[in-house]
């Protein structure tokens, strides 16, 4: 969950590390720190709170250092304060370490080290790593080998970077379960937990795999496995534009990402629509089409917003491809004894491609012989690399912690996968072509909704003092109700629940009174009449109703308090439209409450611990 960046080269690394930390702040933002070597003297500076506060503290010190590592933290063990912030150091501050992940056996290791006379300062699990490395270095072992030996002893997950005044010309990094990359420059090299942090300096990237350890110097790097065997690594050219990771003229990344959706959605299907064949072209699934289409069952696993996209896909795939689908929380899947066979296809959806539970669930399904597919946004991420096949959603970097454009792009890609499978089964050419034509029109329809932005902002004004919200939808729009409620919870801290509209009678109806807003996602479709009855039930109990309705529905204006219209499309694609007003509603309520929508309290963009 935390962010890591490091530099070794000829420049003063302080501004590079601070800029990198700012780009990584979405991964954790409760404290931050840097460890530098200045004239062979260790300098460790930490600060509770945002990176800007650390920057303030450092700027007064006028440090000039050409080797350093830095970290922005999302606390797991130990409260967010300066002592628990990274880097952690050994007793004489000659070795410093930053860590992303969780060391599960830290208690045991700490006791053992304490018995050997090592003193611990923090409450973190991470500190044990630096003490362990110090212990091995005391036995006259090189820093590289000390890290390797420590890796052999720890259980859990880690992405780590270590620097030491004993070997100031090297940074050592290692990975197991938490991402780490090396960025190659000219007479300088970078390390980071996320390419975004270093992309303004280099696009030549080496992705470390689990169990690998690297020694990075200013003009070379060497990767080995835990058994000290050399590993030949591929250098990849990563294309990410700086604009895509900057806020531009927007007040928040979240707003920028909501507004980008006409383009991001188009990018998700660009070059993938085969109009003549009424099908889709997904290079990443080439060769696997028949196996997927012949699956006994499709299992979809994900977390958070990605799980909601999976729920929509269940409706899509069952309706058009006729294959039974189950959707599971990755965290639940991995800890039961799932019945998976080689005839199953498992789809793992993850914006970041790094969510620990989703990654672990994928490994489990793979172990059990299923075909595992990744649907990811981040190119080169762990899920993308470890799946048998997959499709990138191409939404572009998503920085706002609350996912928006990734969700709509996931829905596009899941629709494309559905069409691909369905065309090998019962979907006719004409029906396939019709879906593609509708998909092609989605970007301009999203734009139409975004153009109505001011009206949604006005509605938001009315609800800033609400304490609870209900979101109700049916069929394809039930997952949208869940997603709308999640968006509101995440950024406005208002309690919100999503429910299938008809289930309301089995409990939530008891909550309805004049203070309870209910958002109905009620486009004119096959369950429209039924949803209208649910609306009447809320109305009869004086609930305040906001309806997300289709543009040709004039009736609904008469029965609800607020209506936000969306253009019409086919049922399977409707969630791509109906979710947009809900993103904007949540955004404006949170902004009007004065909250930090890009970095909501307690959340992290990418949950790389379980």
Catalytic center residues: 2, 605
- Of 576 and 607, the one with the shorter C-beta distance to ligand G6P is 607
The closest of 125, 164, 132, 161 to 149, measured between CA atoms, is 132
> Which x/- pattern over 575-594 shows residues binding ligand G6P (rule: CB under 6 A)?
--------------------
Least CB distance to ligand G6P at residue 383 (A): 8
User: Binding segment for ligand G6P among 132-140, 268-276, 454-462, 598-606 (CB under 6 A)?
Assistant: 598-606
Q: Which of 304, 396, 473, 543 binds ligand G6P (CB under 6 A)?
A: 304
- Residue 266 belongs to what H/E stretch? helix 261-269
> Which x/- pattern over 393-432 shows residues binding ligand G6P (rule: CB under 6 A)?
--------xxx-----------------------------
In angstroms, rounded to a whole number, what is the distance separating the alpha carbons of residues 332 and 439? 33
Q: Which of residues 448-487 bind ligand G6P (CB under 6 A)?
A: none
Least CB distance to ligand G6P at residue 3 (A): 14
The answer, yes or no, to whether the previous bond of 87 is cis (omega within 30 of 0) is yes
* Token pair belonging to 374: 């990744």
User: Binding segment for ligand G6P among 185-193, 219-227, 462-470, 599-607 (CB under 6 A)?
Assistant: 599-607
The answer to the question of residue 382 lying near ligand G6P (CB under 6 A) is: no
Q: Which of 244, 358, 522, 578 binds ligand G6P (CB under 6 A)?
A: 358
Q: Which residues are registered as beta bridge partners of 471?
A: 498, 519
CA angle at 167 for the pair 164 and 169, rounded to the nearest 5°: 105
User: Binding segment for ligand G6P among 57-65, 95-103, 140-148, 600-608 (CB under 6 A)?
Assistant: 600-608
CA angle at 183 for the pair 362 and 149, rounded to the nearest 5°: 65
Give SS3 for 345: strand
In angstroms, rounded to a whole number, what is the distance separating the alpha carbons of residues 598 and 605? 10
Q: Which of 350, 477, 492, 522 binds ligand G6P (CB under 6 A)?
A: 350
Distances (CA, A) of 107 to 1, 82, 113, 124, 161: 21, 21, 10, 10, 21
- Of 31 and 355, the one with the shorter C-beta distance to ligand G6P is 355
β-pairing verdict for 344-350 and 371-376: parallel
Q: Which of 477, 603, 608, 609 binds ligand G6P (CB under 6 A)?
A: 603
HEC string of 372-408 equals: EEEEECCCCCHHHHHCCEEEECCCCCCCCCCCCHHHH
* Residue 453 main-chain phi, psi, to 5 deg: -45, -45
Least CB distance to ligand G6P at residue 403 (A): 4
The answer to the question of residue 352 lying near ligand G6P (CB under 6 A) is: yes
- Of 306 and 578, the one with the shorter C-beta distance to ligand G6P is 306
Give SS3 for 351: coil
Total residues interacting with ligand G6P, rule: CB under 6 A: 16
The answer to the question of residue 346 lying near ligand G6P (CB under 6 A) is: no
- Residue 525 belongs to what H/E stretch? none
Residues within the interface to ligand G6P (CB under 6 A)? 303-306, 350-352, 355, 358, 401-403, 603, 605-607
């Amino acid at each position: 969950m935390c962010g890591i960046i490091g530099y070794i080269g000829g420049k003063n690394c302080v501004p590079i590390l601070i800029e990198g930390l700012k780009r990584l702040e979405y991964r954790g933002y409760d404290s931050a720190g840097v460890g530098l070597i200045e004239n062979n003297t260790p300098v460790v500076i930490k600060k509770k709170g945002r990176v800007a506060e650390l920057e303030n503290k450092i700027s007064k010190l006028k440090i000039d250092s050409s080797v350093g590592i830095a970290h922005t933290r999302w606390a797991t063990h130990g409260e967010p304060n300066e002592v628990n912030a990274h880097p952690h150091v050994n007793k004489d501050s000659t070795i410093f370490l930053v860590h992303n992940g969780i060391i599960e056996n830290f208690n045991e290791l700490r006791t053992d080290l304490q018995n050997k006379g090592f003193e611990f300062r923090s409450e973190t699990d991470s500190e044990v790593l630096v003490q362990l490395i110090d212990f091995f270095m005391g036995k006259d072992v090189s820093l590289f080998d000390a890290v390797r030996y420590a890796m052999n002893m720890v259980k859990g997950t880690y992405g780590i970077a270590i620097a030491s005044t004993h070997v100031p010309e090297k940074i050592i990094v290692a990975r197991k379960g938490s991402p780490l990359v090396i960025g190659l420059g000219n007479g300088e090299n970078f390390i980071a937990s996320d390419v975004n942090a270093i992309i303004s300096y280099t696009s030549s990237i080496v992705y470390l795999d689990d169990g690998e350890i690297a020694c990075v110097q200013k003009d070379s790097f060497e990767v080995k496995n835990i058994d000290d065997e050399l590993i030949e690594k591929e250098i990849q050219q990563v294309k990410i534009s700086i604009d895509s990771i900057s806020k531009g003229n927007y007040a928040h990344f979240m707003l920028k990402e909501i507004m980008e959706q006409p383009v991001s959605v188009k990018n998700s299907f660009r070059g993938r629509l085969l109009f003549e064949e009424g099908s889709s072209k997904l290079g990443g699934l080439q060769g696997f089409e028949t196996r997927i289409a012949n699956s006994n069952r499709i299992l979809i696993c994900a977390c958070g917003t990605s799980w909601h996209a999976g729920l929509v896909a269940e409706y899509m795939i069952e309706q058009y491809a006729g294959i039974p689908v189950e959707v599971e929380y990755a965290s639940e899947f991995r800890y039961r004894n799932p019945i998976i066979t080689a005839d199953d296809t498992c789809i793992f959806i993850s914006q970041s491609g790094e969510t620990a539970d989703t990654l672990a669930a994928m490994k489990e399904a793979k172990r059990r012989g299923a075909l595992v597919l990744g649907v990811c946004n981040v190119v080169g991420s762990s899920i993308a690399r470890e799946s048998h096949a997959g499709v990138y959603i191409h939404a572009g970097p998503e920085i706002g912690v609350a996912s928006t454009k990734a969700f709509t792009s996931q829905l596009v890609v899941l629709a494309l996968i559905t069409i691909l499978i369905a065309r090998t089964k019962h979907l006719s050419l004409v029906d396939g072509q019709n879906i593609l034509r509708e998909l092609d029109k989605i970007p301009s329809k999203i734009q139409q909704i975004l153009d109505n932005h001011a009206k949604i902002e006005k509605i938001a004004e009315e609800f800033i003092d609400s304490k609870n919200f209900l979101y109700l939808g049916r069929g394809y729009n039930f997952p949208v109700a869940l997603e709308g409620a999640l968006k509101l919870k995440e950024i406005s801290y208002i309690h919100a629940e999503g429910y299938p509209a008809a289930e309301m009678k089995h409990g939530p109806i008891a909550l309805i009174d004049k203070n309870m807003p209910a958002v109905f996602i009620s486009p004119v479709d096959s369950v429209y009449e039924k949803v209208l009855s649910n609306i009447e039930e809320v109305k009869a109990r004086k609930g305040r109703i906001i309806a997300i309705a289709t543009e040709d529905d004039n009736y609904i204006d008469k029965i609800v308090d607020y209506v936000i219209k969306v253009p019409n499309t086919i049922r399977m694609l409707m969630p791509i439209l109906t979710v947009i007003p809900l993103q904007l509603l949540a955004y404006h309520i949170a902004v009007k409450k004065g909250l930090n929508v890009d970095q909501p309290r307690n959340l992290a963009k990418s949950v790389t611990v379980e």
